[in-house]
Amino acid sequence: MAQRRRQDLIMELIQQNGFVTTEQLVDQFKVTPQTIRRDLNELASQKKLRRHHGGAGIDSSTVNTAYQARKIMDLEAKERIAEALVAMIPDNSSMFINIGTTTETIAKALLEKNNLQVVTNNLHVASILSAREDFHIIIAGGEVRNRDGGIVGEATRDFINQFKMDFGIIGISGIHTDGSLLDFDYREVRVAQSIIANSGQVLLAADHSKFGRNAMVRLGSIAQADHVFTDEPPPTEIRQLLREHNVELHLV
């Protein structure tokens, strides 16, 4: 198959699924992983897609990538971030955990802790943490988003505002070069703002793909975090902003 034709078909698959792995493309086109990586790198250089560890996807400022695709995107980086973040969490502490596949990975790492008090608007996080009998898990009320198990809405925000927790563990869809934290759902953003306002320390978990990624709703600023956990050095502008606001950067 000609390279141009293969690349056109790759784009069709990504547009249909939001994200595809290198392995899937190797199986689909019966070529080597090196050939697929060259195709993806060339398409990325043309700004047609965004490369991720193990695959590629398409960014949109209005619609997030499908949940099942996000679960496997940059998973190794998410696991390293989770390990580093959880090392900061002492036993017998309290925390909010918001919506996202990164925070779900963090929830799995938290199973090594003891006697945690958790308020979450993420059904998957609640399910993961419920495996520990010594954890006290509170699920926020509100509307359940079928696509990813997130709970959103004004009732959710009001519920969050009843608590003051030691930590707020936050995931995010995108981070602008000016430090703006960006997401796709206004209702989800309102809840995350309340989590930040009611947390003793805000721990932001974001792999490298989130920096420079666009989304249409502004949640706040990266300067509102106390700690930022990521797997690659952020852009220069972001590092400067973190230094100016005494936000500790953790590279994992």
For residue 87, what pLDDT band results from cuts at 50, 70 and 90? very high
Q: Report how far residue 160's alpha carbon sits from residue 97's, in angstroms, rounded to the nearest whole number.
A: 11
Task: Please check the confidence at residue 70 and state whether its pLDDT lies above 80.
Answer: no
Q: What is the pLDDT of residue 19?
A: 80
For CATH 3.40.50.1360, list the domain ranges present in the chain: 75-251
Q: What mean pLDDT is predicted for residues 198-227?
A: 95
For residue 48, what pLDDT band results from cuts at 50, 70 and 90? confident
3-72: in CATH 3.40.50.800: no
For CATH 1.10.10.10, list the domain ranges present in the chain: 3-72
Which residues are bridge partners to 20 per DSSP?
56
**DSSP secondary-structure letter at 177?**
T
For residue 10, what pLDDT band results from cuts at 50, 70 and 90? very high
The CB-side HSE value for 89 (13 A sphere, CA atoms) comes to: 30
The CATH code for residues 75-251 is 3.40.50.1360
Give the pTM. 0.77
Q: Report how far residue 128's alpha carbon sits from residue 113's, in angstroms, rounded to the nearest whole number.
A: 13
Q: What is the pLDDT of residue 60?
A: 61
For residue 189, what pLDDT band results from cuts at 50, 70 and 90? very high
Q: What is the pLDDT of residue 127?
A: 97
**Inter-CA distances, 213 with 35, 160, 177, 202, Å:** 26, 27, 9, 21
